[in-house]
Amino acid sequence: MQNLLCTNPSFSPVLIHNFSLLSFIYSVALPRMSSKAHSSNNIAHARRTVQQLRIEASIERIKVSKASADLMNYCSEHARNDPLLMGIPASDNPFKDKKPCTIL
């Protein structure tokens, strides 16, 4: 919801920095807030994180070169069907104004 508070663009760059600083301070302050009553919560949370990381570490990955080649192939295969990329004639595009027809 932070971005909703920035109404004037000339102030935004300063505000963005402040918020990132605040969120950094907040994230550093959080561990100090845990007390004995929350320790079992932390363990459950840590276990869930470890499990999640185990799942993520075990997935199969392919090389970036192969992934990039596939992305490029997809782009070139579909490029000719892409109206915004290729441009289609005004008569086919319902949004473009058609030339007025002259009645002879």
Partner 1 sequence: MCDQTFVAVTFGPCDSCSKASPLMNIYIKNEPINYCSFCVEMMACQGLQKGETLASLKRECDNLKKKLEEERGKLNDVELHQVAEKTEVLGALSVKTRRVLKGHGNKVLCMDWCKDRRRLVSSSQDGKVIVWDAFTLNKEHGITLPCTWVMACAYAPSGCAVACGGLDNKCSVVPLSLDKTENLAAKKKSVAMHTNYVSGCTFTNSDMQLLTCSGDGTCALWDVESGQLLQSFHGHTADVLSLDLAPSETGNTFVSGGCDKKANVWDMRSGQNIQSFESHESDINCVKYYPSGDAFASASDDATCRFYDLRADREVAVYQKDSIIFGASTVDFSLSGRLLFAGYNDYTINAWDVLKGTRVSVLFGHENRISRVRVSPDGTALCSASWDNTLRIWA
Place of tokens 């760059």: 13
18, 22, 49, 98: residue in contact with partner 1 (rule CB under 8 A): 49
The single residue listed with the structure tokens 């918020």 is 19
Cβ–Cβ < 8 Å for 34, 24: no
Q: Which residues contact 61 (CB under 8 A, 6 or more apart)?
A: none
Looking at the Cβ atoms of 37 and 103, the one nearer to partner 1 is 37
And the tokens for 55? 């799942």
The answer to whether 50 contacts partner 1 (rule: CB under 8 A) is yes
18 near partner 1, rule: CB under 8 A:
no
| Contacts with partner 1, residue ranges (CB under 8 A) | 1-3, 6, 9, 12-13, 16, 19-20, 26, 30, 39-44, 46-57, 59, 61-72, 74-79, 81-85, 87-88, 93-97
